[in-house]
């Protein structure tokens, strides 16, 4: 040891990349030992600008402009590039901002249902050939029967629920909730039978209305719609939270 101080620099650096072609910012890690020319070549795959059409600007982690990266033969590590610095790519190719992210400019490929039905390399063709899904008559019939059975059970459960009844709601993956039945019937937001419940606590998702259609009145976050089979009607008194006690 000669008593000197040695500084070990991380051989790689993580930088933020922005470009005049997009409003997005991405993070990438690069080797400090590559030249600026090599660095530009790698940036081509990230930002879409040809290396020959790039001007690079270096900003500090706080986005203060530091300098341009102009010497193609210099090493990336020879510049004050630290983790979380930002390197801004100025495109001189003539491309317009948003050109590579605006999907409205991409011509859509469309095919008629008749033409698609004749293709042999499509998903529909595979389903037909292997008798999957709706192309399997036995399976389709079974699914239709199961759906009809579910709907019948829901209709019967809905018929046994009366507006004004106290209830308990048990939905898979959610805690048990207590409330009052405020609505029973069909809705405009989804098919089938639904039960509108006003919970005792703000554990719901709405105020009794969905998509501008009101089904019952309650405070925001106290209302919810659940399937009839998730509702049990019974003697479920409101919790006493001791609000009248001192």
**What distance in Å separates the CA atoms of residue 231 and residue 242, rounded to the nearest whole number?**
27
Q: Tell me if 217 is assigned to some domain.
A: yes
Q: Does residue 159 surpass a pLDDT of 80?
A: yes
**What distance in Å separates the CA atoms of residue 125 and residue 131, rounded to the nearest whole number?**
10
Q: Could you tell me the CA-to-CA distances from 194 to 100, 173, 219, 226, 235 in Å, in that order?
A: 45, 19, 19, 6, 21
Strands 85-91 and 65-68: unpaired
Q: What is the pLDDT of residue 102?
A: 57
Q: Which of 39, 69, 91 is the last residue of a domain?
A: 91
Q: Tell me if 97 is assigned to some domain.
A: no
Give 47-63 as a DSSP string: H---GGGEEEEEE-TT-
The residue written with tokens 């005049």 in the block is 20
36, containing H or E segment: helix 36-47
Nearest to 218 by CA among 193, 182, 171, 190: 182
Q: Tell me if 18 is assigned to some domain.
A: yes
Give 180-197 as a DSSP string: EEEEEEE-SSSSSEEEEE
Q: What is the pLDDT of residues 121-151, one digit of tens each?
A: 888 888 777 877 677 777 777 888 888 898 8
Yes or no: say if 158 and 184 are a contact pair by the CB < 8 Å rule.
Answer: yes
Q: What is the pLDDT of residues 61-107, one digit of tens each?
A: 999 999 999 999 999 999 999 999 999 999 988 766 555 555 565 66
Q: Which of 91, 124, 158 is the last residue of a domain?
A: 91
> Of 50-59, 77-86, 108-117, where does mean pLDDT reach its minimum?
108-117
Domains identified in the chain, total number: 2
Angle formed at CA 21 by CA 15 and CA 22, multiple of 5 degrees: 65
Whole domain around residue 216: which residue ranges? 166-233
> What is the domain-level CATH number for residue 171?
2.30.30.190
Q: Tell me if 67 is assigned to some domain.
A: yes
Q: What is the pLDDT of residue 246?
A: 42
Yes or no: say if 56 and 76 are a contact pair by the CB < 8 Å rule.
Answer: no
Give 87-156 as a DSSP string: EEEEE-S-PPTTTTT-GGGSPPP---HHHHHH-SSSHHHHHHHTT-GGG-HHHHHHHHHHHHHHHHHHHH
């Amino acid at each position: 040891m000669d008593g000197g101080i040695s500084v070990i620099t991380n051989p790689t650096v993580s930088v933020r990349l922005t470009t005049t072609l997009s409003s997005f910012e991405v993070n990438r890690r690069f080797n400090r030992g590559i030249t600026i020319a090599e660095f530009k070549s790698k940036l081509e795959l990230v930002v879409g600008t040809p290396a020959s059409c790039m001007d690079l600007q270096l900003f500090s982690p706080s986005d203060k402009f530091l300098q341009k990266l102009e010497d193609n033969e210099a090493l990336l590590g020879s510049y004050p590039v630290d983790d979380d610095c930002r390197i801004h790519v100025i495109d001189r190719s003539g491309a317009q901002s948003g050109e590579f992210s605006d999907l409205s400019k991409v011509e859509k490929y469309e095919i008629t249902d008749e033409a698609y039905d004749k293709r042999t390399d499509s998903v529909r063709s595979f389903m037909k050939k292997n008798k999957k899904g709706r192309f399997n008559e036995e399976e389709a019939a079974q699914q239709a029967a199961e759906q009809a059975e579910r709907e019948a059970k829901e209709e019967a459960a809905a018929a046994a629920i009366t507006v004004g009844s106290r209830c308990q709601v048990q939905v898979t993956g959610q805690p048990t909730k207590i409330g009052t039945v405020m609505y029973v019937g069909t809705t405009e937001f989804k098919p089938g039978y639904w039960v509108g419940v006003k919970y005792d606590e703000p554990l719901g998702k709405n105020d009794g209305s969905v998509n501008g259609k009101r089904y019952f009145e309650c405070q925001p976050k106290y209302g919810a719609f659940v399937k009839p089979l998730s509702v049990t009607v019974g003697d479920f008194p409101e919790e006493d939270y001791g609000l009248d006690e001192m």
